[in-house]
Structure 1
Amino acid sequence: MSELSLTWPWALVGLLVVPLLAAGYRRVLRVQEGRRRQLAAQGLVIPAPRGRWRHLGPALLIAALGVMVLSLTRPVASVAEPRREGTVVLAFDVSNSMAATDVKPSRLEAAKAAARAFVAKQPSSVRIAVVAFGGTGLVTQRPTEDRAAVLAAVARLKPAGDTSLADGILGGLSAIVGKPVKAPGDAEKGTADETPIGYHGGTAIVLLTDGEDTTDAGPAAVAELASAAGVRIEPIGLGTPAGTTIVVDGFSMATALDEAPLRAAAETTGGTYRRASDAASLAAVYDAIELQWTTRTVPHEVTSWVAALAALLLLGGATLSVLRQGRVV
């Protein structure tokens, strides 16, 4: 439903001419009636116009003038428009294992390439944040509509360190909430009760990782926290179950995709786990992410529409007047 406001309301003063024109029209009718009586007294009988429709033409002309005056006020209609809205956190695993090349050119670079494609496709109403997590989670870009800032944050990511899936999810929640979110039941960091995070429907954490968790605590507890906050976790598994080897500080290390914790986190929050073997399939995963549709009120100036209505009334009134009496006025 729309609301109407006027940019120049003082122009409504011009509407005072409408009753003056109506009064003038009635005076013309009285003069014509008096003239008919005079002619009838001289034996010249002129039939008086009959029917209520004889006033329609002049009425349309007067109405057209009134609408023209209304258009001078530059009316603005506030219209509710649907738009896709929400927040997406791109949470990148930047541990050493993400340098593995079983996804070309590497797990991390493939994730970054697909993230750039995802950012380019999003409407301006979708805010995007970037989180980098290894042994800890770090918000490198808060939720923003500035696409250049998001792309710059993605470009800076480099692999190093261990992996904590729980801290990756906590980093995503921190980006959404706008303040650090504690792990539930963690005596050192605080508890979930000490850090209420509220409900954040229409948000999602895209967890880009190979699933290899080097900590003792898995992501189950923080996934429950995300679920209670209405945040979906959409894990994307990078790598292959067969795995490969990487060299870290001169040592060879085996690394392989671990899907079990990612599937569990997705199931807990109502998200979907997907495996991505290359950048193209990663892009398809991003396309499947759905955000909520909301409405916002957008002002639109409707002067042209009001002027068009005035022109139609003017044309209709002039046409009727010409057809009935051979002239416009």
Structure 2
Amino acid sequence: MSELSLAWPWALAGLLVVPVLLVGYQRVLRAQEARRAALAADGLVIPAPTRSRWHHLGPALLIAALAVMVLSLTRPVASVAEPHREGTVVLAFDVSNSMAATDVKPSRLEAAKAAARSFVEKQPASVRIAVVAFGGTGLVTQRPTLDRAAVLAAVARLKPAGDTSLSDGILGGLSAIVGKPVKAPGDAEKGTDEETPIGYHGGTAIVLLTDGEDTTDDGPSGAAELASAAGVRIEPIGLGTPAGTTITVDGFSIATALDESPLRAIAETTGGTYRRASDAASLAAVYDAVELQWTTRTVPHEVTSWVAAFAALLLLGGATVSVLRRGRVV
């Protein structure tokens, strides 16, 4: 469905010439009839035969062509609803201390950032991207946006520190999608005895970039179920190696390794796919799993050339009919 508007509506004043032409055409016809009748009375010509209804087709097409040409001068603009695909992807980064481990070069977090940069650059312009940093809590560092530079800047600022809460990472992603804070269901300490109502958000996904090591007691299952109910797919990306390595935090040496079991459970709950990222290339396939939804947007298109082309066709048709019937255009 489209709507038509006129950029120069004042040009419609040119249509006033149409009734003038019609009146002039009728006067010419009456003058010709009178002249023929007078000549017929003197026996100089035979009486005029009865004219068919197609006699006026040529002049009618020529006048219609003029009217359409005037209409083209108004610069008509058609607002057309065009379908396009759009979606929202949240890049949720684990920024806990363990992400500084170097079992993935140059480090787990730096590998995640490099993979994210490649991912962002490959996305179509219609996809909005948000950035969430989570450790002991989840923080939306960039709201969903089409501004790729803002997304890349938010990714570049990430640094490792603190513990890991996969639940808060998921809730942070949901907060970015919903546009308001989303808390864990049944958490009386945070004032959420009942599940947070967040609605349905099809065509969205959370890419969870983490080593899977959760330092909390609750676990991510409740947050994953909340995301699943909201139609949000979670695509976990495991960073690290099962053999693991050690990191130094405040002078203490701490062992850390990739824990894939909670990530597989999150993917299964939300309909996503777990992938291990031994390098940046592992993130490239995530977009294929993101279900973008079809929406429509109204796009204005100036159709002056189409209207002028139609006028030219009418003009050509009128001239052709006139030449075939009368041997001349006018």
Q: Same fold (TM over 0.5)?
A: yes
Matches within 5 A, 1:181-220: 181-191=182-192, 193=194, 195-220=196-221
Distance in 2 of aligned mates of 1:104 and 1:323: 83
- Structure 1 residue 234 displacement after superposition: 1.5
Matches within 5 A, 1:237-276: 237-276=238-277
Give the equivalent residue in structure 1 for 2:9: 9
Distance in 2 of aligned mates of 1:305 and 1:174: 47
Give the equivalent residue in structure 2 for 1:282: 283
Distance in 2 of aligned mates of 1:186 and 1:313: 73
- Letter in structure 2 aligned against 1:31: A
Give the equivalent residue in structure 2 for 1:79: 80
Specify every segment of 5 or more residues in structure 1 that has no aligned partner in the other structure, as ranges.
Answer: none
Query: Residues 118 and 287 of structure 1 are in contact (CA less than 8 Å); yes or no, is this contact kept in structure 2?
Result: no
Partner deviation per Cα, 1:277-325 (whole Å, 9 max, x = no partner): 2111212323442321211112222122112211221222223323332
Give the equivalent residue in structure 1 for 2:232: 231
Partner deviation per Cα, 1:203-227 (whole Å, 9 max, x = no partner): 2111111111111111000111112
Partner deviation per Cα, 1:79-133 (whole Å, 9 max, x = no partner): 1111222221110011122223333332222221221222223333322111001
Percent identity of paired positions between Structure 1 and Structure 2:
89
Mean Cα deviation higher: 165-174 or 82-91: 82-91
Distance in 2 of aligned mates of 1:192 and 1:313: 72
Distance in 1 of aligned mates of 2:256 and 2:91: 22
Query: Residues 108 and 240 of structure 2 are in contact (CA less than 8 Å); yes or no, is this contact kept in structure 1?
Result: yes
- Structure 1 residue 192 displacement after superposition: 6.1
Give the equivalent residue in structure 2 for 1:293: 294
Q: Secondary structure of the equivalent of 1:267?
A: helix
Q: Secondary structure of the equivalent of 2:91?
A: strand
- Letter in structure 2 aligned against 1:244: T
- Structure 1 residue 189 displacement after superposition: 0.7
Matches within 5 A, 1:87-236: 87-191=88-192, 193=194, 195-236=196-237
For the structure 1 residues 166 and 303, does the alpha-carbon distance in structure 2 shift closer, same or farther, using more than 3 Å as the test?
same
Mean Cα deviation higher: 94-103 or 57-66: 94-103
Distance in 2 of aligned mates of 1:103 and 1:309: 65
Mean Cα deviation higher: 112-121 or 77-86: 112-121
Distance in 1 of aligned mates of 2:216 and 2:242: 20
Query: Residues 183 and 190 of structure 1 are in contact (CA less than 8 Å); yes or no, is this contact kept in structure 2?
Result: no
Q: Secondary structure of the equivalent of 2:20?
A: helix
Mean Cα deviation higher: 202-211 or 96-105: 96-105
Give the equivalent residue in structure 2 for 1:54: 55
Distance in 2 of aligned mates of 1:250 and 1:282: 33
For the structure 1 residues 106 and 44, does the alpha-carbon distance in structure 2 shift closer, same or farther, using more than 3 Å as the test?
farther
* Number of corresponding residues: 329
Q: Secondary structure of the equivalent of 1:188?
A: helix
Distance in 1 of aligned mates of 2:206 and 2:50: 77
Mean Cα deviation higher: 173-182 or 216-225: 173-182
Give the equivalent residue in structure 1 for 2:44: 44
Mean Cα deviation higher: 251-260 or 156-165: 251-260
Distance in 1 of aligned mates of 2:50 and 2:311: 27
For the structure 1 residues 49 and 248, does the alpha-carbon distance in structure 2 shift closer, same or farther, using more than 3 Å as the test?
farther
Specify every segment of 5 or more residues in structure 2 that has no aligned partner in the other structure, as ranges.
Answer: none
